[in-house]
Amino acid sequence: MWSRRKEGAASPFRREALAYLDALHSFARYLSGDERDADDLVQETYARAFAAVEQFTPGSNLQAWLFRILRNLFIDRYRRAKGGPIASLSIDALDESGAPSVPAGTPDPDAVTSADVQAAMMALPEPSRTIVLLDLEGMNDDEMATILGCASGTVKSRLFRARAALRELLKDYAPARRPHGL
């Protein structure tokens, strides 16, 4: 087990943990939608991880452990800011019509940009955005299940719904379907 006595600035645990800094920051930025909040979330994530190093089991998935700490911090902050449980962050939460809200502006079907994709991601409810981001980080179902605290079958269904919602948000960018032979 990692020991606090062995924890210097260049300890193996800290070096390995800091290797995930960019990925954690990207994840935090998409969750919070704000650069400053993302910086705070990542800083607090590392502070908590380094303080709880004895709770980490060497050989287990450090990346998943760090992402889970960050996600839990985000949820805690959101609850405190809203004064209660996260009722509006249901994976199925869409706009009043039952569809995800579409990014502002009329898109040019031939010119999807990273800003358009980012706007679509930010339009997703937090749980949908989270699972898509974890998938983009290359995590497998078991790793995502660990981070989200659910079964891997639940991960698969949530990821399916989140991808469908993202496709719906970006549907205006899909190439027009032409009749066969044209």
For the chain, percent of residues with pLDDT exceeding 70: 72
Q: Summarize pLDDT for 168-182 with one digit per residue, the tens.
A: 888 877 655 445 544
Alpha-carbon Rg for the chain in angstroms: 19
- State which H helix or E strand residue 83 sits in: none
CATH 1.10.1740.10 in the chain, residue ranges: 1-87
Q: Is 10 helix (H, G, I), strand (E, B) or coil?
A: coil
- Find the mean pLDDT for residues 115-142: 87
Q: pTM of the predicted model, to two decimals?
A: 0.57
CATH number of 1-87: 1.10.1740.10
CATH number of 89-175: 1.10.10.10
Confidence band, pLDDT 50/70/90 cuts, at residue 1? very low
Tokens of 150: 């659910």
Neighbours of 108 (CB within 10 A): 11
